């Protein structure tokens, strides 16, 4: 955790981001503080970092269409990741159930072995 915080502090643009500020100075639980953050678009995030980061003037040549395409790609990626996370949670639940059944099965085998 210490190395993580030091790495963030080395990058002032990260330390100034609203997400890191909520993490560093939560009002109550960190999870609820993150939920209180307003939902922002990719355009908003890009503008934030364009202000905070020195960048090449070549970035000014990015048109609205390219920005929209990037936004759509990012949105699709986020949607896919949420789906993957939900599937992994479901898989974890199924594995827990299987584990419980196997433990019960093992108890029956032990009882049967004692019977013999």
- The full set of domain ranges for the chain reads 2-82
Q: pLDDT per position in the chain (116 positions), as tens?
A: 677 777 777 777 677 777 777 777 667 776 776 777 777 777 877 777 777 776 655 556 677 788 788 888 888 999 999 999 999 999 999 999 999 999 999 999 999 999 88
CA pair distance 83, 81, nearest whole angstrom:
5
pTM of the complete model beyond 0.85: no
Task: Give the up-direction half-sphere exposure of residue 43: CA atoms within 13 A in the CB hemisphere.
Answer: 9
Structure-token match 């993580």, residue found? 4
Integer CA distances (angstroms), 1 to 7, 21, 38, 62, in order: 10, 16, 26, 37
SS3 for 17-82 is CHHHHHHHCCCCCHHHHHHHCCCCCHHHHHHHHHHHCCCCHHHHHCCHHHHHHHHHHHHHHHHHHH
């Amino acid at each position: 955790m210490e190395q993580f915080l030091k790495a963030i502090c080395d990058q002032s643009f990260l330390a100034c981001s609203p997400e890191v500020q909520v993490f560093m100075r939560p009002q109550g639980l960190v999870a609820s503080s993150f939920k209180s953050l307003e939902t922002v678009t990719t355009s908003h995030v890009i503008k934030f970092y364009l202000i905070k980061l020195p960048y090449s003037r070549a970035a000014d040549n990015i048109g609205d269409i390219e920005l929209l395409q990037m936004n759509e790609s990012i949105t699709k990626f986020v949607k896919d990741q949420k789906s993957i996370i939900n599937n992994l949670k479901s898989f974890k639940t199924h594995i827990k159930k299987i584990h419980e059944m196997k433990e019960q099965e093992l108890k029956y085998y032990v009882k049967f072995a004692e019977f013999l």
